[in-house]
Amino acid sequence: MKHIDVKPRALTEEEKKLRDQGVYDSFANYIVYCETCGKVESTNMYIMSAERRAKMLKDKGVLCDVCNLDTWAVGYPENSMTGFGTFEKKTGKKSIFGAKK
């Protein structure tokens, strides 16, 4: 699934350190995005799927179609510590990102 209107943020150093120790938020919705330009590649992913997707894109040499680099990373929606957030669709309606219906 892809919500292109979501603004990504990088994982904090503390979040990365915890992840290296095997600690992560199992309910969070992670994003795969281009670190250089912020283009969202995939959303609504568990951490393992997001990490695998970012690695696969780098390994295959898939370039971002906006900046032409392969700086794929795992992150959260901007202003979110849990992977949940809101964004405004182009229709002007607000939606909850990551919520199950």
Q: What is the pLDDT of residues 25-78, one digit of tens each?
A: 777 888 999 999 999 998 888 889 999 999 999 999 999 999 999 999 999 888
Across 11-71, the runs of DSSP E, i.e. the strands, are: 30-34, 40-45
pTM (two decimals)? 0.75
Structure token digits, residue 71: 């700086």
The residue type found at 12 is T
Indicate if the pLDDT at residue 97 is higher than 80. Answer: no
Name residue, tokens 């590649």: 41
Q: Are 70 and 57 in contact (CB under 8 A)?
A: yes
pLDDT digits (tens, 9 = 90+) for 73-94: 999 888 776 554 444 555 555 5
- Note the pLDDT of residue 99: 43
